[in-house]
Amino acid sequence: MKKYFISLILFLLAGMISYAQVGVNTDNTSPNNSAMLDVKSTSKGFLAPRMTFTERNAIASPAEGLVVFCTNCKDDGAGCISLFMGGQWLNLAGTCDLPVSPAEGSLVQSNTQIIWNWNSVPIATGYKWSTSTNYATAIEMGTGITKTETGLVTGNSYKRYVWAYNACGHSDSTILAGQALVCGSSFTKIHTAGVVAPADKTVTYGTVTNIPGEPSKCWITRNLGATQQANSVSDNTEPAAGWYWQFNLKQGYKYTSTRIPNTTWITLFTEDSGWTSENDPCSLLLGSAWRIPTSTEWTNVDAAGNWTNWTGPFSSGLQLHAAGFLAYTDGVLGQRGSNGTYWASTQLGAPYGEFLFFTSVSSVMSVEGKGYGFPVRCIRD
């Protein structure tokens, strides 16, 4: 009688287990309602049955959805997860994902030192940093996301490269651009006549920050190519005006009594692009840390400075003056001393570029044909 009773209990328990959910390491040992088997762990994985190609194929009448790890099922003899689906065994192609390129962080720039910073990225196990584009010779940074570089030349611009990596390989490089200069200091550049500078000039550029509307940015305090600060808002001299550029073209022009270089003037612009970095004269002449301001940046300083006419731009820390322009029809100088026109890097459709425009009675953002030649004022993050 006792033996019969025990057998009955075991039978009932077996029936209950065959229909029960199983939870391993689940909260209160209760599995998720949608799962027959719920396994939770933060330090261990689930190990599927492991077998050879021959053993896998010997499974009698495999059920749809059956999963095993086959130790030699790939064409090179390597192992993979195998899934029985649609009446056949399928090998699941495993992918090894690379990390994305890290984004540039905020740089700390001083007169002889730059602290290069970049942002961490998911699935990266480390980073490498270099002064060149060669990943193989790059410096191992481990999981660090900062690199301090000392002994730099004051005023010089520098370009560095950083990669994220993991066991699968490495990302494309991210370019970090900086200048060994505290904003508020001056730096000297020797410009040589060529495809960007129109004439030989040695220019000492002042810099300024805390401009209302864009207080974190650094600006040069005179126009690109200007050898002297304008002595008034209506200064009509070439040394104060600096050089002129057509939109998204890197060749600059100097204008005294004639235009230099006196090449054929481009009047037709069909490209649909803002100012690209490879054509940006600020980057090309001052270093990769510098660029032409965007229309948003010009709009912000115009609004925050409450500029209503040319007095506002000139009395600001930027000391912008009416440097005039080169006409879109023939490249002849116009209205130097009466109009201020400064390119933004932003276009408005294929034929038009945006720019800051001010006179004795107004100061606004405007648009004009890309064939005009305007001066530029450079900005650095």
- One digit per residue, the tens of pLDDT, for the chain of length 381 reads 545 444 444 444 444 444 567 777 766 567 887 877 888 888 988 888 999 999 999 999 999 999 999 999 887 888 889 999 999 999 887 778 899 999 999 999 999 999 999 999 999 999 999 999 999 999 999 999 999 999 999 999 999 999 999 999 999 999 999 999 999 999 999 999 999 999 999 999 999 999 999 999 999 999 999 999 999 999 999 999 999 999 999 999 999 999 999 999 999 998 899 999 999 999 999 998 999 999 999 999 999 999 999 999 999 999 999 999 999 999 999 999 999 999 999 999 889 999 999 999 999 999 999 999 999 999 998
The neighbour count for residue 48, using CB atoms within 10 Å, is 13
Residue 28: per-residue pLDDT: 57
Q: What CA–CA distance (Å, rounded) separates 62 from 283?
A: 65
295: left (phi over 0), alpha (psi -120 to 50) or beta: alpha
Residue 27: per-residue pLDDT: 66
Residues 6+ apart with CB under 8 A from 17: none
What's the Cα-to-Cα distance from 191 to each of 136, 200, 225, 227, 286, rounded to whole Å?
A: 35, 5, 8, 11, 9
Residue 290: per-residue pLDDT: 96
Residue 5: per-residue pLDDT: 45
Residue 15: per-residue pLDDT: 44
The DSSP letter of residue 214 is: B
Residues 189 and 201: beta-carbon distance below 8 Å = no
Place of tokens 């192992």: 79
Classified as helix, coil or strand, 78 is coil
| End-to-end Cα, the chain, rounded Å | 90
Place of tokens 């481009």: 266
Q: What CA–CA distance (Å, rounded) separates 378 from 214?
A: 13
Residue 16: per-residue pLDDT: 44
Residue 122: per-residue pLDDT: 93
Place of tokens 């699935």: 123
Residue 29: per-residue pLDDT: 60
